Amino acid sequence: MTSRNEAIHSEPVWRERSDFIIAVAVDSANSKVNSEQLWARRLDDLCFELCCIPFFAYDIALGDIVETDERFTITRVSVPSGRYVFRAYFGESYYPRDIMAQELESRGALIEWSSTNLLAIDAKDHSHAAELAAYLQEHEDLGHLMYETGRSS
């Protein structure tokens, strides 16, 4: 993160598709982060496809088509991708993070690390999201992590 409390993606999952960086405001009441840089593919002047999995922002997902203002800050999702975002927080858990990452990838998830404790997870559709949610819930019940969805409602 930078001194402006901006989350940055160092390894976006669709890096090869991206050609631009946009931003999204983050609800700072729930986080020390107040904005997030997002890798994107420019479709026209103010329209972009998201090429990374959001770490902190809600209600946007990998592959969404979004509109921005002239400062390239997201104003709305114009075409949802149908993908789902989860976030796993490991905190004080001793469960091996690399094993969790491998297990999620073996289940078809795309992942991005924000830090050693925070993992963003992408599910390709509703049924895949249900499968991953059940898996993450099992690990939360065992005390390996805490997880949330990337949706505000």
Report all structural domains of the chain as residue ranges with CATH numbers, in order of start: 6-79 (no CATH), 84-149 (3.30.70)
Question: pLDDT for 28-58, tens place per residue?
Answer: 665 688 899 999 999 999 999 999 999 999 9
**How large a percentage of the chain has pLDDT more than 70?**
95
Residue 89 phi/psi, 5-degree rounding, is -115, 125
> The pTM is what?
0.92
Mean pLDDT of the chain: 93
Is residue 137 over pLDDT 90? yes
Give the tens place of pLDDT for each residue, 75-85: 999 999 999 99
Q: Is residue 140 predicted with pLDDT exceeding 90? A: yes
- How far apart, in whole angstroms, are the C-alpha atoms of residue 69 and residue 50? 15
Give the pLDDT confidence of 118-133 residue by residue, as tens digits. Answer: 999 999 999 999 999 9
> Is the pLDDT at 63 greater than 80, yes or no?
yes
